[in-house]
Structure formats: C-alpha cells, structure tokens
Structure 1
Amino acid sequence: MSAVSAVGAAADRVAVPAAVRPAGAARAVTVREYGTRYLRITVRYHGDARFSWQRVPGPEHDRPQTPPPPAAGVALRRVDAALAEAGSGAGRGARLELGEWDAASEGGGVLYRVPGAVSVARLLPSGDDTAHRLSVGALADAGRTLRRLHDVPWEFGEPRPHHGVGRLLAWLSGSADASTEGAPENAPDGARLGALARERLGSRLWTRLADWAESAQSPPGRGGAVLLHGAPSTGWLVPSPAGDHTVLLTGEEVTGGDPALDLGWVLGELHELRSAATRGLGAAGQGPPVDYPAAARALLAGYLRKEDALAGAGANLLTEDATAALPPGTARAATLRLAVHMRDFASFVGWHEDLRHYADLLAETLDADGAPTLRW
C-alpha cells in the first residue's frame, strides 16, 4: 500500500532527481508529478531555488476549485504580512502561499510558488536526520500560523461547508460511491470500505462518528467561527531546503468554523502516521523509525505560543495544562481526519487490505473519544 497513512499525498513518495535543472536554463522543468483520482500535482523548477506547484482537479474531484471570498482573501494577506514582518528563522511561522487560479491553462487548477520540491509529507517519514529537522521546524511554524489565523473572527459572510467533513458525511450517508450492485468485492472501493467500517465499528461507534461529523459541519458555539485554513496537512507544508522558512499552501479550502478542525486535522494525520508505523501498515510501517511525537509536540508548541509548553511533559505525553489549552474538540477533529483519510484512499486511490486494520484503528480511537490523538 503506497500511502494510506498520508492519502493527501498518496503518491508523494517518488524520488526527486539529484540534479533538477541546470542553473540559468530558459524554461521551467517538471521534476515531479503525482496524485490521485481526486487531485493531480505537478512540481516545476524555475531556477534559483524557485519552484511552482500546480494542483489540478482529478476526474473524481467533486467541486470546482474556488478562491476564498475577497474579504477573507484580504484577511489572509494581512496575516501573511504580519508573518513576514516577524522576520526569518525560528519562531516566525509558515508564510501563507495563497496561490493563483490558473484558469488559462489546460485543466485549470491553482498554481503555488514555493521554495522547495517536496513537502513534509515526504520528508518526515524518510528517516533522514536533516529531513526530520526540517519537518519538525516546519510543523512548529505551521502551528504558529494556524494560531494567527484563528485569532481572526470569521466576518466574511456565510462560510462554505468544510470540504473534508462534507466528503465524510456523504460517505457515511451512502451518497458517495453508492453503486453497490453485486458482491462486496465488486463494489466501488469507497462503498466497500463503508460496509467494512460499519461492521468493524458497530452501530454505537458508527453513530458516534456520524454525530461528530454533523457537529463539525455546524456553526461553532462559544467563541464563534474563526478564519480556517480548511485542510492543513503535511502535504501542504513546504520548507525551504535551507530551513530558513516554510510556506503553507492556502486558499482552496479556506472557510470559517471551529479552530479545533484545523489543529485536529494535522494532529490526526500525525496520529495516523505514528499508528501505521507501530502496526507495520502502509509506507510508514515499512519505513525507518521516525520520532512522530517530536513532530506533534512541535506543532502544538507552536500553536500554544509557548515554546517550552511541552518541555518536561515526561513519557512523551502532553501536560494536563497544555491539553486544556487546546481548542475543545481537537481530539474529535483529529479522529474525523483519520476517517476522511480512509474514505479518500479507498475512493480516490483504491482498495488495499490494510484498510481493514485502519478500520480497527478508527474504532479504537472513537471508542476512546479521540484521546489517543493527544497522547504525545
């Protein structure tokens, strides 16, 4: 199985050429292409350490790629300007790369200008010491940036639905991958996973998952909606090879809602990677040892704005004070992320027998109210 543990970058495991392009070459050179039936990504090198990433809808993309509302775009640029004013190096935060809607090119898509050819989704599981250092620094930067975004109230009209949660709700209701004629082995893979998950979870946990997803799509209560990235992940996070700055691809999924959704989205991905490595599942399970707790603690320390907040926690666990400082519902959001990854892999990549073990992991996480996603 190539990467159910990182479906947002399902094919983000290919080798990068050692020499991507001679300095001074006249035209951009494509150095990587990967993706799923949902999204295709092309990485091009433009010389002088400049790269572009073009994200183009795949044949099963369920909606047009649209920019955020103009007023939200202004707010995003203000946040990015504040990040730029903080200077370079440790403690700044990831810059927001807002992308350019590329309607003129074949297939459309969104074009992002970034400092590197690979994301944290590929760097972190590699086991390389330098890649791990870059990844941990980038995740700390991402935590700081998410916190800055969440300081901005959503005052930009009716927020659009959270796309990841929307896909999960469609799957749970049976309206996605709904052609299920014949034996389960011949059903579309998303529906096949749905039948398996319903069996493994049982009615109690299946209902809990549906309730959490419905709640996540509802307007938040106390504190109100804030500006959300909408789908932060290691696959959207690109550090420069020098490690002096990081960018977070931003725009396609921007909405307003509960801050727990953004933070939990990244934590859920890291929990999945750690669990896959421990259980021998997917690419993470076959790769070298990786200190995923260090990566999660870096993200959380950046978000909490206390670089020492997680120091001395002991036994790789968050302190009670640090856990209490996270947005309520973060563990539930992280669990939803795990479910969305499963659903997306089955629907957009295909069936793999490891999905049976991921269904068990989801059941365990749901049964514990998501608590394992906060144990670092």
Structure 2
Amino acid sequence: MLLGYAVPIVLFLGLVIPVFSSASQIAESYRQTTISITAIEGVTAMNFSISRMVGDTRGYILSRDEDYLKAYQTDLQTFQEVAESVGNTIENPIQKERLKKNLGLQKKYDNYSAQMIELVKQGKQKEALDVFATKKEVLIMHEVDEINRSFNQKEHEILGAATSKAEETVRFLVSAVLVGAVLGITIALITAFFISSGIAKTIGGAVNVIATSSTEIATTVEQQERTALQQSSSVNQTTITMDELGASSQQSAQQAQAAAESAREALKIAEGGALAVEQNLESMTILKEKVGAIAQQIMRLNEQTNQIGNISSVVTDLANQTNMLALNAAVEAVRAGENGKGFNVIATEIRKLADISKKSAEKINNLVAEIKNALDST
C-alpha cells in the first residue's frame, strides 16, 4: 500500500525537476535575447551618432556656424554613453573586441575632425578643405560600417541560438508535462485496479469462509437430529423391556439381565447425547471466531478504501500543482510578449490536461465514497 503513495510522489518530483530546469533555461534564453537586442540597438545608435558627427563637421567647415560644434559635442557624448552601456551589457569576447575597435575608430575620426575644425577656427578654411579632400573620413566610416555589420550579424546569430534553445526547451517542457499527466492518470488507474482486485479477493475469501461455516452448522444440526432419534429409539426399547418384565414374572432373571443390559445401553446413549451437545458448543465457538474474522476483513477493506481515497487526493494535488505550473508558464509567456504567444497556447493545453486529471481523481473519490457507504451499511 505504501507503494501506492510513493508512485504519485515520485512522479510529481520527476515532473517538477524538468519543469524547474526548463524554466531556468528559458529564463537564460530570455536574458541572452535581451542582451542581443540591447547590443544591436546600441550599435545602431552609435552608428547614427558618428554619422551625425561627420555631418556636423562638414556643416561647420562650410558655414563656420558654432551650432554645428555644439551638435558635434552632443553627438559625441551620446556615442560614448551608448558605447559604455553596450560594453557593460555584452558578454561575448569577440563582440567586446569589435566594440573596442569601434571606439578606436571613433577616436581616430575625432582627431581627424578636430584637425579640420582647428584649421577653420584659425581662418584656414582652404587647408581644412584640403584635409577633407583626402577622404579619410570615408575610409573610417567604411571600417565602422564593416565592424557594425559583423557585430550585428554575430548578435543575430546569438539571438537565433537563444530563440531556438527556448523553443526546444518549451517543446521538451510540454512533452514532459504531457507524459507526466498521462503517466499520472495511468498509474492511478492501475493502482486503483490492483487495490480493487485485492478488495475483491478479500471479499471472496470472506464469502467462502461464511459458506464453509454454514455447511459446518448444517452438518452439526443433522448430527443432533440423528442423536435425538437414537435417544427416542432407546426410550422406546426401555418401555418395551419394562412391559415384558411385568407380563412375564417367570423370566424375571432373564428379564432382569435384559433390563440391566438395556440400562447400560441407555447410559451409553445418554453419554453420546452429552458428547453431541459439547460438539455443538465447539461448533458455535468456531462460528463466532469466523464471524469475527469476517468483521476484521471488512475493517481491512475499509482501510484499503481510505488508502484509495488518499491516493486520489495525491493525484488531485498533482493536477493542482501542474495547473499552477502551467499558469506560471502562461504568465511568463505574457511577459515575453510576441515571442511567448505560442508558449501561452501550450500552457493553456497543459491546464486542460491538469483539469482532466483532477476530474478523474474526483470520479475515483466518488467511487471510494460509494464503497465506504456500502461497508458502513454491512
């Protein structure tokens, strides 16, 4: 019977472990996805800032408007802040190296731009245009574009791997929950079947004991009837003997001897009757013991019925825990947004399976209640 309690508990623990592990893997995939998206957005913002810095430099060279210098400083500050944020976010060593090269190109362009701006401030606009004509900024921006392209490509690969891992984990989680639910229902039904079979065997044994006891009682009654008939026959023989003694005084000696023999025979018959009564009392004692055994079997049947109810309660608890896990998974899917829609549908299916398990357990509880009512009325 202890096995009936242990199986649902082991099954529940076996289901909780992969669910917890899968949830951790999904959380890690979500973290990697967040890092990749943040890195891609940051590099895009950096590229936009350095492009604006190029435009600000050109505008100042052509117009000598101080507003372009202010805009240049603003874009430079934005570039540096975003670069620092991306550097603190990314974890891949190759990506960190690319970010470092990007910062080096920004400093290289900043020196190139500062040279032209300083010439313009000194009134040497023609020299500044000559420096600009070297198209050094084009080469720098080309390198920046190549690094950013490689950076974004790598982050998309990381993002794709994290997404694939999350999808694989979700599929495994769904499979684990489905298998756990099916196994839970199957094991509950099998356990209930074996316990019910044991109960049926116990009842059958009790019925056989009752039938055997009834047969023994009938045999004892027949023996008592035969003994009574023998006693009646003995009394009749004694009466006939006494009549013969009164009718024939001449055969007194023979009659006396016959009377003595008849008396001895009557004594033996009386002793046989006493023995039959004693046997009847022993049979009644045996019958009482067997009736007590039947009562004990009924009590054991009641205990086994309670155990079925306890197992059904464990199955109900398992269904509730599965439903709660599915609900938590649905909440995580909602938090994941668009990427978690499929996971939300799967979580809904899991809750349906948990409800089916719970209804099956309730049916078993109703069956147990009917058996207990039948036992109480016995």
Q: Identify the TM-score tier after normalising by the shorter chain.
A: under 0.3
- Which TM-score applies when normalising by structure 2? 0.21
- Which TM-score applies when normalising by structure 1? 0.21
| Structure showing the higher strand proportion among its residues | 1
Of structures 1 and 2, the larger Rg is shown by 2
